[in-house]
Amino acid sequence: MEMSSGHKAEAAPDLSVSIGRLKLRNPVMTASGTFGYGEEYAEFVDLNRIGAIVVKGLSVTPRTGNPPQRIVETPSGMLNAIGLQNIGVRSFIDEKLPFLRRFDTPVIANFFGDSIDEFVEAAGRLSSAAGVHGLEMNISCPNKHAGWGAFGTDPKLMRDVITAVRAGTTLPLIVKLSPNVTDICMMAKIAEDSGADGLSLINTLTGMAVDIRTRRPVLANVTGGLSGPAIRPVAVRMVWQVCGAVGIPVIGLGGIMTAADALEFLIVGATAVAVGTANFVNPRVTIDIVEGIERHLSEEGISSVSEIIGSIRLPNRP
């Protein structure tokens, strides 16, 4: 290794962060729905080198998901309407969790329900499963008792469902916020007040694509969730605003493709980041980003990632 004269070999920067009681070796997590239950990626990535694995969303009853066409590429992004297809909590615990237990990486189970009862039952079952270190609550899913409007767009429903889940589990509880709201800070504060240990944002932005020859929506579900680089500026802005509004840790996600993208989120206040759609483009991207963050900190002479979290320098405003 070449060293310029006068250069002192420094210890590697400390990348460790904490989300409540969850200790992560580095701030890079996987975004739910983009990493399956880890198995497909194990051939490309050493799962022991990621900060945390957030698995595909789980419900008590398995879901088959939406008919095709489920995805479509859009400028610098994609729409998805997978339809929350999942094998169900029981099959996850019996069939998928054993594989994940082989690794020394916290597993965060993303979960949802179509009613408050289903949310509570899912959280309860996952909480008693060995190998689940934390829960991430997906409130962007439709509520069957409220005309299929999403939990995450109704303040009262938000409060009720988070409070109910909180009462039934002592595991670290992260609430994943929907950006499809007028005031994300209000939703963030409700989640904090209701007992969340952390927040993750943003989930996908609702979007749509139309085939001009057939004049039909491209997706069978008509609308879908927009993800990828196109949404990153919205995500960075929302993370910045929420970090200013709550005291609990925030996990930032939305279009992160590179270490530079991840650093934007950390600088505006996120304690950790999650990488999603980028995994489809490059299955090794999580490790590339961990290494990129480490390299950036070394080059800047920063000894710990915690030094840059929330370090944004804002202009003085009158």
Considering only residues 85 to 114 of the shown chain, the ones binding another protein according to CB under 8 A are 85
Q: Does 279 bind another protein (CB under 8 A)?
A: yes
Can 185 be counted among the known catalytic residues?
no
Interaxial angle between packed helices 155-167 and 116-127, expressed in degrees from 0 to 180 and rounded to the nearest 10: 30
Q: Does 308 bind another protein (CB under 8 A)?
A: no
Write down the least CB distance from residue 205 to another protein, Å.
15
* Neighbouring residues of 109: CB distance < 8 A, sequence distance ≥ 6: 55, 58, 92, 126, 129, 132, 134, 135, 136
Q: Does 67 bind another protein (CB under 8 A)?
A: yes
* Cross-strand pairs, 17: 24
Write down the least CB distance from residue 248 to another protein, Å.
30
- In whole angstroms, give the CA distance from residue 164 to residue 61: 19
Q: Which of the stretches 63-71, 128-136, 295-303, 304-312 binds another protein when contact is defined by CB under 8 A?
A: 63-71
Which position among 19, 58, 72, 191 is part of the footprint of another protein (CB under 8 A)? Answer: 72
- In whole angstroms, give the CA distance from residue 222 to residue 216: 9
Q: Does 280 bind another protein (CB under 8 A)?
A: yes
Q: Does 65 bind another protein (CB under 8 A)?
A: yes
Write down the least CB distance from residue 62 to another protein, Å.
10
Burial class for 148, CB neighbours closer than 10 Å (0-12, 13-18, 19+): exposed
Choice between 148 and 280, CB closer to another protein:
280
Q: Which of the stretches 27-35, 134-142, 151-159, 173-181 binds another protein when contact is defined by CB under 8 A?
A: 27-35
Write down the least CB distance from residue 64 to another protein, Å.
6
Write down the least CB distance from residue 153 to another protein, Å.
24
Distances in Å between the alpha carbon of 164 and those of 61, 172, 215?
19, 15, 44
Instruction: Write out the residues near another protein by the rule CB under 8 A.
Output: 33-36, 40-41, 43-44, 56, 64-65, 67-73, 75-78, 80, 82, 85, 228-229, 257, 277, 279-284
